[in-house]
Structure 1
Amino acid sequence: MNCRQWITVFMLTFFMIGGVQFIAAEEGSENQVLIVAGDENFPPYEFVDVIDGIQVYRGFNVDLLKAVALSTGYEIQFRPMPWAEAIKALDRGEVHAVGGMKYNSERDKIYDFSEAYMMNSLAIFVLKDMQAIASIEDLVGRKVAVQKDAIAYQRLKNQPIELVLTTNQGEALELLVSGKVEAAVGNSLTGQYILQRTKQYQNVKIVGGAIDSEGYCVAVKNGNPILGVFNKGLKDIKENGTYDKIYVKWFGEPIDYPVQYYKRNFTFAISAVIILIILGVIAVQISLYLQREVKKRTKEIEVINEELQRKDKLEALGKLVACIAHEIRTPLTSIKTFAELLPAKYDNPLFREKMSQFVPQEIERINNIVNDLLTYANPRKVERECIPIKRLIDTIMVFFADDIAKQGIDVQLDIKEAHMVYVDIQQMKQVMINVLLNAIQALTGKDKPSLTIVSEIRENQPCMLIADNGVGIAPENVKFIFEPFFSTKSGGTGLGLFVSYQLAQQNGVTIMIDSQEGLGTNVILKFSSEENLHA
């Protein structure tokens, strides 16, 4: 055998022995060290914390991998760093693994993943008052903060979104809270943990639900046999219950139970099923008996129902009468006011002029209400005409002059002469009177009461805003205010706003209410019919 052949044999022997030693080491020599990189600020999974003045690397992933190392006989060394640097360290072979990486198909081309030890998802974080963002599609064209090289960056990098890259998710949320970005996208649990820890959870909300829910794993470079160690350790700690204890420590409840749990309870489950079957048979027999009894009682119930329906009709009739009384009371109040002032102001020519103008109008209004009742089965046809909003308001405000003076209400009027509407004048007067009456009543006893009435053009359509700083409406009552017979006032019938809402609809007018209890109410009348586009 010549020299070259001896050298070849030596080299083959050397590499074979080295390979065997490497495999033995990877399979669990007690002195082997696992070097694992992780994010330095990704709570509650992994983060650098300060306890008694000492920096400590802690979190769910840290405790989990410590348990894996202990189970497999390895020693573990953690290297916390920014996430982007952790990825680079794995790519350069400086570490064996990255402690927690969400699986996706793009990453699968570069890395091997352990069995998933939990499910993970992305979330969109926005400020509480943001209404324009509800999904990933709504992020297009907006400024969005994401952690550099994290799964959120991978998800959004090829979309027409202005991405602002941060070192960690905490920085992304800081940019959101400070108003420098319109949204932040990142891990759902991590975001919630950071917001609670920084006491910003009241300012931020999650929209769009769970996004791209995938397995959360340990990642190694493609082909690295050390992955088997992690898989074995993860399996062991799940079976012996260690995983559940770690999960409860960081998240509050386990996502799964060990296999022994299911084996231990299998017999119990079978017994329970048999008992349920027996109970089911008994329940069927009882049900058949009850069906026979129900048939006997049905006829009796039908008789009772007929009596209840008759009673309901009488109650409805009573409410209808109350409705008519409510609608007639408003013009009667105006007439009564003029009558009370007549002795004192009879010699006032301006007063006589107003009285001769408005009293006949209100009497006519009462007559119209009575006519509406008599022709209930065949409602009066809406007769619209073009009129300035200012004229409507001017003819109505006179009715409330005394109440405004008595309560010391600061009234701000800004009604443009040019703002025209196409409506039934009598019906819209009734709508506006009801709205103003509610506003003035809400100001009773209020310190520094104020009432603002403004007209403006929105979306090429005339609108009127009536705002007060009164008692406001409780949140739970707002959705019922246009319902018939709903009222929070003592002695109220709950028909004023209901009637106004119906009349407004007939005139193509939308009523919108924004109210805060204790702060006041804004009522917007939007004259949205086709004719009002050109009124």
Structure 2
Amino acid sequence: MQKIAMLLALFTLSLFCPPAMPAKAQAEEERVLRVGFDKRLPPLSYVDKNGEAAGFDIELIRSMDSLRGYQIEYVPLDWEDTVAWLTEGKLDVVVGMKYTSTRDTLFDFSDSYLTAADALVVPAAAREISAINDLRGKVVAIQRDDAGIAQLENIRGGKRLVAFSQPDALDMLFLGRADVFLGNRWTAEYVLEGTGRQQDYRIRTGLIPPSDYAFAVREGNYELVNKLNEGLARLHQNGKYEQLYSQYLETYGSFAIDWWRKLVYGLLIVMGIVVVVLAGSFFWNSRLQKAVRRQTAALADSFAFQTTVLNSVDNGILSFDREGKITLINHAAQKLLGKMEKDAQTSVWDCLPQLPIRQALQMGDGHMLEGELHLGDGTGRIVHYYLAALSNGAGQQVGGILCLQDRTEQKHLQARLIAQEKMRALGELVAGIAHEIRNPLTAIKTFAELLPKKLNDERFRRELVEHVPEEVARMDRIIEDLLDYSREKPMQRKRENLRELVQSVLGLFAKRLDSERIQVVLEPGLDVDVFVDRDRIKQVLINLLLNAIEAMAHAKDRCLTFSVLPRDGQTVCLAIADSGSGIGEQELLHLFQPFYTTKSQGIGLGLYLSQKIMHEHGGEIDVQSEPGAGTTFFLTFAKGGTGDEHLNH
């Protein structure tokens, strides 16, 4: 009876308690797969606006049938943390790791699922980087612990600026703290498109050998590597890989062929239309040329009366056709250019090859070019010219007209007056510079006299090494500024973008501006072209920027603003405002005088030379300031436009 009772008890217990699951099966059901990824590497891996893991690498993991049965936990980290956590065993898988021989000794890698080379992102205006060796001397922004750092270690003189993520590294490039970005091409395109900077920067590829991207696991975890390889193979077989590649990266796979075929057909149709239009344009232009020749002949008949009038004018006047053949010339022009027979059909190109005739013909009616040139006939004569296109009564351009004024005597007189004024100014400069040089010479003389007595004095030697080079450098600066005033340098004026010019100067002081917590504001109106000598205007901007930094040394709120004020259509006014201590009324009266300075280490030629440079450009420099209310300098430039280059000749 006792055995029967025990059997009944066991039977009842089995009804209410299910059999225990095998330990191995239970462990497999509860297996957790911790997947680490770079949380800021779009479109490969990132955290979306809902806080979920997303990206091409993440979707590959999610789509793998071979990982069913695993509870996948996605861990967003900075890239260097993902590598460290995988090394310490806190992660099971890291997605998107570049294969290197060094990392192969630490981890096991799956089969490669991407092969791509890192790209270089450079400003659109930079054309000097065409090879990896061109990074010598450049500041390269790169992600911390990126495999591409090994490429930079082989470049002499290269400097690295590391960031926690590739978008942060791109921000360093946008702020001007770096010259170039090195990193993932897809991430660079994603960030440039998101910030609207596609036109400001270029992506250079093919300069760096490609690398393989794969899944990395802890050393010896062959079971997980096999499952990952099996999942990748199935994704390729069922077409899921191509779909994800096209969705996140670029058009890929056979399903895009139809789209490309349609595009090619469309281009062929467009090319056919263009050919027809060009053929029609050719025949139409032929008819127009015949009409122009007829009108030119009719116009030549009417020049007889005009010739009599023109011969009574002191200025030289001549006209020419579109081929440059002179059709009309008065006596004054013949005297300037030498005797010419009209029957010889002398060309204006032969007489005055330095004239911008082609540009004048391209500008059309309503525009005129003017400037000065040397005749080049050995007499040293200087003429001022006015050049414009010439049209007939039907509005058709038939050539051009040129007016010449002999300004040789006027220029010689002007040169003598300038020389006299410069000699007077140089006398004032020399008188003022004597006092500036006497102070450093006195210090050097004192050290030289004490040298025999205190040669063994360590403190004396230390002060000698410290102060004498400073005084010599001070004299060198004074003399160099004086030479800059006295030397004649040819002007090299051309169109420059004002924003790019300001940013190039700010880049020289980026570290100092950041260390002194100075906020720089660039107003939108700076995107305008000006006609300047780039190096000389940079010297003006550097002088004003240094003055502004020193003026804000003790200010609570430090802000430097660059803006363009509304003016007429021919000039541009750049306003540079600081929030510094300001300038008193009496100081403003002497601000641009040579050797006037309120600085203990200043020479007093900075603003004087800045004013001289602006006057050489035909511009102005003005200032408004009040003590305690900051200072604003105004620079007025000629606006850049068609034909500016010849206005300077």
TM-score (norm 2): 0.42
Which of 177, 183, 186 in structure 2 is aligned with 1:186? Answer: 183
Q: Could you say which residue in structure 2 is the equivalent of 1:159?
A: 155
1:520 aligns with 2:519: no
Give the superposition deviation at 1:200. 2.2
Residue 333 of structure 2 is matched in structure 1 by 358
Q: Report what 1:269 is aligned to.
A: none
Structure 1 residues 32, 440: CA separation in 2 closer, same or farther (over 3 Å shift)?
farther
Amino acid at match of 1:100: G
- Residue in 2 that maps onto 1:251: 249
The alignment partner of 2:125 has SS state of coil
Alignment partner, residue 31 of structure 2 = 32
Find the aligned partners of 1:524 and 1:72 in 2 and give their Cα distance: 75
The answer as to whether partners of 1:112 and 1:227 remain within 8 angstroms in 2 is yes
8 Å contact from structure 1 (residues 71, 237) kept in 2: no
Change in CA separation of 1:223 and 1:336 when aligned onto 2, cut-off 3 Å: farther
Q: What SS does the aligned partner of 2:48 have? A: strand
- Could you say what secondary structure the match of 1:50 adopts? coil
Normalization by structure 1: what TM-score? 0.50
Q: Distance in 2 between matches of 1:252 and 1:372?
A: 58
CA spacing shift, 1:154–1:90, aligned 2, 3 Å: farther
Map of 1:231 onto structure 2: 229
The residue that corresponds to 2:100 in the other structure is 104
Deviations 1:344-402 (A, max 9, x none): xx5x8x569996442345684555954789xxxxxx9x999xxxx9xx88xx99xx9xx
Give the Å deviation of 1:116.
0.9
For 2:165, the equivalent position in structure 1 comes to 168
1:417-428 equivalence runs, <5 A: none
Q: Does 1:121 align with 2:117?
A: yes
Superposed CA RMSD in Å reads 5.3
Q: Does 1:220 align with 2:189?
A: no
CA distance in 2, matches of 1:243, 1:195: 26
Specify whether residues 363 and 169 from structure 1 end up closer, same or farther in structure 2 by C-alpha distance, changes over 3 A only.
same
Provide structure 1 residue ranges, at least 5 long, that are not aligned to the other structure: 1-20, 258-314, 374-379, 445-459, 468-517, 528-535
Structure 1 residues 465 and 34, CA gap change in structure 2 (3 angstroms): closer
Deviation at 1:436, TM superposition (A): 4.7
Q: Is the 8 A contact 1:177 1:204 kept in 2?
A: no
Kindly tell me the number of residue pairs found equivalent between the two proteins: 333
What is the distance in 2 between the residues matched to 1:40 and 1:109?
25
Give distance in 2, aligned partners of 1:215 and 1:116: 6
- Structure 2: any 5+ residue segments left out of the alignment? 1-21, 256-285, 318-328, 398-487, 496-639
Aligned counterpart, 2:83: 87
Instruction: Give matches, 1:219-368, under 5 Å.
Output: 219-225=216-222, 226-254=224-252, 339-341=308-310, 346=312, 356-360=331-335, 364-365=339-340
Q: Deviation at 1:241?
A: 2.8
Residue 80 of structure 1, CA deviation: 0.7
Task: Say if 1:341 and 1:176 are closer, same or farther in 2 by CA, change over 3 A.
Answer: same
Letter in 2 for 1:185: L
* Aligned AA (1:181): A
SS of 1:211 mapped into structure 2: coil
CA separation in 2, counterparts of 1:115 and 1:361?
82
C-alpha contact (below 8 Å) 1:461/1:526 kept by paired residues: no
Deviation, structure 1 residue 101: 1.1
Higher relative contact order (CA 8 A, sep 6+): 1
CA–CA separation in structure 1 for the residues paired with 2:214 and 2:316:
88
For 1:304, the equivalent position in structure 2 comes to none
Partner Cα distance (1:439, 1:122) in 2: 56
Q: Out of 213-222 and 247-256, give the one that drifted further.
A: 247-256
- Percent of pairs with identical residues: 24
Label 1:339 to 1:149 Cα distance change in 2 as closer, same or farther (>3 A): farther
Contact map agreement 2:82 2:94 (CA 8 A) in 1: yes
2:42 aligned with 1:43, yes or no? yes
Question: Could you list the per-position Cα deviations for residues 133-168 of structure 1 after superposition, in whole angstroms to 9, with x for gaps in the alignment?
Answer: 223221110111001011222322342311100111
